[in-house]
Amino acid sequence: MTRFQTLVARDLRLALRQGADSILVVGFFVITVALFPFGIGPEAGTLTRVAPGILWVTALLASMLSLDRLFQADWEDGSLELLLLTPTPLEVVVAAKVTAHWLTTGLPLLVATPVLALLLGLEPEGYMTLLTGMALGTPALSLLGAIGAALVLGARRGGVLVALLVLPLAVPVLIFGAGAVDAAVQGLDATASLEILGAILLATLLLGPVAAAAALRQALE
């Protein structure tokens, strides 16, 4: 646990020192959501109906922006090879880097979500479900992204490749996340969709670091 916390703190310092990734992700999220009223019209009923889908799709795309750099910087300066030689299991290293990635990208998205939901006129009944779904879904997206980032490590145009690999895997998160908000807005029980999101998060927590670590070992050989 101490090594895990040390690795998370290291990646947080590096991310906060640069700061560009967090600003880019949140900026993309805010600007893209703000453009939808211009594209589909300012009618409150239309925006309210499509708000859950807009927020989830945009959050998914925004989370993809910085995934290609999840391991890239450490790979380029040789830090990743040194981490592989340490007693710390590579799965723990991956989990720490994913945690730092979520804290610097997923958490800001979560914070910005209520404001953008208000902009789109989301019904008040859907706010808590939306935030709960985002809290469950965004870490799963980071874990899935870690697998994609590890598979394309060192490849040219890694960002495009990561998106092609991860987006199909992220479709269930999108479906159940938006579906939970729709159910809450219509006065239905959204518990089932949230439970499925929790199951997806649990599965990615168990399998994501293992799969990403295996891909990293293959890339470093």
Residues 185, 41, 118: CA angle, nearest 5 degrees: 40
Residue that has been written with the tokens 């009223």 in this structure: 37
**Rounded distance, CA 107 to CA 120, Å?**
20
Nearest to 196 by CA among 124, 119, 140: 140
pLDDT for res 148:
87
pLDDT > 70? residue 159: no
For the chain, the distance separating the N- and C-terminal CA atoms, rounded to the nearest angstrom, is 27
Q: In the chain, what percentage of residues exceed pLDDT 70?
A: 94
pLDDT tens for each residue of 78-130: 777 777 777 778 888 889 889 988 988 888 899 999 999 988 888 888 899 99
Q: Which of 169, 148, 170, 168 is nearest to 159 (CA)?
A: 148
pTM recorded for the entire structure: 0.88
Q: How many domains does the chain have?
A: 1
Domain membership of residue 108 as a residue range: 2-220
| Of 5-14, 117-126, 138-147, the least confident | 5-14
The larger pLDDT score, comparing residue 37 to residue 156, is at 37
Average pLDDT rounded to a whole number, residues 38-62 = 84
